[in-house]
């Protein structure tokens, strides 16, 4: 199995825990908690900022010294309704107690104390189409560059229809050379509908020294330390992924793969 493909630990509790140390990089951290009603999870952010994403279900959340109520209303992520999220700065604590069965994704990256805790969504998040033809997918931007909510994190979720491609045309963001390109580490948390289905993700560099093609299943995570990283949903299976990027600069600038440059030039005309 590819070292870039991370399988869940199980179906309950903390099913993923990816740290910069375990990923072999510097910025991105990611965890997933699947809780039953009444179960709780709590953590300190330390020197890292955090975004909590209620992927499914509801939980009562207390963070940064404040009660944030019981965010969440999607029973199933494929309802495609905007997510309820919470930004928690570094040097804070947070705690969540499940009100229903719920899936909570926790993204982290270095924090600089530049932003206060705040709700993100569902207000202000709207499902937006991107691409054309079988490259069409639908995006919920949670905290991308236009939203000045964070010091480091860039977070979005994407719904890819069956038979379509996403994160395509292929592109990379693995050099610290702004404004030409930015260095951003990235993780993909995949879900499939039906859950028995599978998708495909490839991570590859122009020189071929990294070239991994992976079958991804429900709740799998793919690490993208460098290179291009398109993914596809076979006919019959809808794909969702929640992803984060972080690096030394909170800007997303990328370079397309040489083999797809003609597509971008054509579409720009």
Digit-coded pLDDT (tens) for 170-229: 999 999 999 999 999 999 999 999 999 999 999 999 999 999 999 999 999 999 999 999
Q: How far is CA 143 from CA 16, 71, 208, 243, 253, in A?
A: 21, 17, 32, 11, 16
| Structural domain that includes position 251 | 5-268
Residue 245's DSSP bridge partners are 154, 186
Question: Which two structure tokens, joined as six digits, stand for 189?
Answer: 């948390």
Residue 238 is part of a domain; what is its CATH number? 2.60.120.10
Q: Does the predicted model carry a pTM greater than 0.85?
A: yes
- Residue-averaged pLDDT of the chain: 95
pLDDT for the residue numbered 269? 38
* CB atoms closer than 10 angstroms to residue 51: 22
pLDDT for the residue numbered 267? 56
pLDDT for the residue numbered 114? 84
Number of compact structural domains in the chain: 1
CA distance 167 to 131: 10
CA distance 153 to 61: 20
Helix (H) or strand (E) holding 23: helix 20-23
Question: Which two structure tokens, joined as six digits, stand for 217?
Answer: 């299943």
């Amino acid at each position: 199995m590819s070292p870039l493909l991370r399988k869940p630990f199980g179906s309950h509790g903390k099913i993923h825990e990816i740290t910069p140390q375990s990923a072999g990089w510097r910025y991105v951290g990611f965890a997933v908690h699947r809780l039953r009603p009444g179960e709780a999870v709590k953590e300190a952010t330390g020197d890292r900022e955090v975004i909590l994403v209620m992927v499914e279900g509801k939980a009562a959340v207390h963070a940064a010294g404040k009660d944030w109520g019981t965010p969440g209303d999607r029973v199933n992520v494929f309802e495609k309704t905007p997510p309820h999220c919470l930004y928690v700065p570094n040097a804070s604590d947070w705690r969540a107690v499940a009100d229903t069965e719920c899936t909570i994704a926790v993204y982290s990256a270095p924090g600089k104390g530049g932003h206060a805790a705040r709700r993100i969504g569902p207000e202000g998040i709207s499902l937006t189409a991107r691409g054309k033809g079988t490259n069409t997918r639908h995006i919920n931007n949670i905290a991308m560059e236009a939203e000045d909510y964070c010091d480091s994190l860039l977070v979005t979720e994407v719904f890819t229809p069956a038979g379509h491609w996403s994160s395509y045309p292929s592109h990379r963001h693995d050099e610290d050379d702004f404004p030409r390109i930015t260095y951003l580490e990235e993780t993909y948390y995949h879900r499939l509908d039906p859950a028995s289905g599978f998708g495909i993700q490839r991570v590859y560099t122009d020189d071929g020294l990294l070239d991994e093609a992976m079958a991804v299943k429900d709740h799998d995570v793919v690490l993208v330390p460098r290179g291009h990283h398109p993914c596809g949903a076979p006919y019959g299976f809808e794909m969702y992924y929640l992803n984060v990027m972080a690096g030394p600069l909170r800007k997303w600038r990328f370079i397309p793969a040489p083999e797809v440059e003609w597509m971008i030039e054509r579409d720009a005309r």
